[in-house]
Structure 1
């Protein structure tokens, strides 16, 4: 049976996507930092969906992580069909006040890892009858976001990379999709260091990880280029293309900066 590799699989959108793929008959290669959470997911996949699931507990922000994951994946199977680049996080705060080292760590995980892992696993994906790559970005990819400046920039990079790679592979067996969710009920806000007031505001419009995952898996397998789950998120992303950038940035600053 074909395998899907999911990074950042232990919780949130990554966990929900992993369970959906298992439900659809895929075996799983699961990678994340938390060994306990991965073990729990492996057990759930086996008990609920009776699929094989292998796990690798690894800090994906470390140098050489992509090579380690690719070598491990190639040892597990020669039937890789799906790569889900989901690992990533954000940092909330003004650029000059945040630690440069931590921001560089975020960029490593959000940009360098998916690029390196995709490059390393493309030969395996080319062997599949049909291969899929899903890169998880954000609606922040469509605009600059004060106090999330580097996070938004990293997601804009991932969106642009996805579309360019998709075009390069258009005559191949591999389809590339970029998922751009809005606010989602995950641990993103806690990891980003957002305060309770901002988290409460985001929760008012948040989608569940399960709803985002359903849109992601359905759209990826349908070969869509970009996926923006939720009507409100689609409208918001669409407005960024017609509203002057200065106004969009002022609105974003009004949402995020007032709680700093």
Structure 2
């Protein structure tokens, strides 16, 4: 059976992507920090979709995380890897100079360094599959600067640019690269980012479910699309950032996020 690796698979969009891939007939390699949540996911995959799910509980902010994951993948997918999903990531809300620098560097390690390292390490295994796919999860924040989510938005802009550049480099190979850029989703993103209940309430008004985001993302992945922004409102909002002056876009974003600081 083909095998898929998903980072940040224990909950939210990552979990939904894992279940969606299992439904499509993939055996899974799932990685996240929480072993109990991963084991629960593995049991559901086996019970509901009759697919195998191997579990690796690991702090993916560690500098050696990518090499550990790559070694583990080699042990559990000796015939090669068909899908790589770089989903692990989080945000931090607040003014750059007031947030802890170490926390921001950990976020960068997870959001952009890990996907680069992991993709580099696993490309040889992906090449073994007759057809292989890489899905990098970014955000609608990739399309604009977001004051008070400054470093997070910049990290996701990197993911989007990295995905498109790598996609072009691999266009004549068997590997297709897609970038998924969700907007507000009903996950624990806002609480992990340190946002208050007021911002959570604002996000809830326009949030998509992880299942809806994952379904759209997988459809785009297997259709070979370069990038996808799921949800009509998200597409319109991101599209406006390309025609409205950046200073106005930044002022609007600051008006949404900074007023609750």
TM bucket, shorter chain: over 0.9
CA deviation string 1:157-206 (max 9, x = no partner): 00000000000000000000000000000010010000000010011000
| Alignment partner, residue 141 of structure 1 | 142
2: CA distance between counterparts of 1:174 and 1:79?
13
What TM-score results when the alignment is normalised by the length of structure 1?
1.00
Q: How does 1:66-145 map to 2 (within 5 A)?
A: 66-77=66-77, 78-145=79-146
1: CA distance between counterparts of 2:214 and 2:191?
20
1: CA distance between counterparts of 2:62 and 2:52?
27
Query: Gaps (5+ residues) in structure 1?
Result: none
| Alignment partner, residue 56 of structure 1 | 56
Q: How does 1:1-260 map to 2 (within 5 A)?
A: 1-77=1-77, 78-260=79-261
Secondary structure at 1:80 match in 2: coil
Secondary structure at 1:146 match in 2: coil
What displacement does 1:79 show? 2.9
Secondary structure at 2:82 match in 1: strand
2: CA distance between counterparts of 1:50 and 1:119?
31
Secondary structure at 2:136 match in 1: strand
Instruction: Give the number of aligned pairs.
Output: 260
CA deviation string 1:111-156 (max 9, x = no partner): 0000000000000000100000000000000000000000000000
1: CA distance between counterparts of 2:182 and 2:155?
14
What TM-score results when the alignment is normalised by the length of structure 2?
0.99
2: CA distance between counterparts of 1:73 and 1:96?
38
2: CA distance between counterparts of 1:197 and 1:96?
23
Secondary structure at 2:252 match in 1: helix
CA deviation string 1:67-123 (max 9, x = no partner): 000000010012310000000000000000000000000000000000000000000
Secondary structure at 1:144 match in 2: coil
- Root mean square deviation of aligned Cα: 0.4
What displacement does 1:63 show? 1.1
Which deviates more from structure 2 when the two are superposed, residues 24-33 or residues 72-81?
72-81
Secondary structure at 1:103 match in 2: helix
Query: Gaps (5+ residues) in structure 2?
Result: none
1: CA distance between counterparts of 2:69 and 2:259?
40
2: CA distance between counterparts of 1:230 and 1:27?
28
1: CA distance between counterparts of 2:34 and 2:259?
33
2: CA distance between counterparts of 1:187 and 1:55?
22
1: CA distance between counterparts of 2:61 and 2:156?
16
2: CA distance between counterparts of 1:144 and 1:79?
38
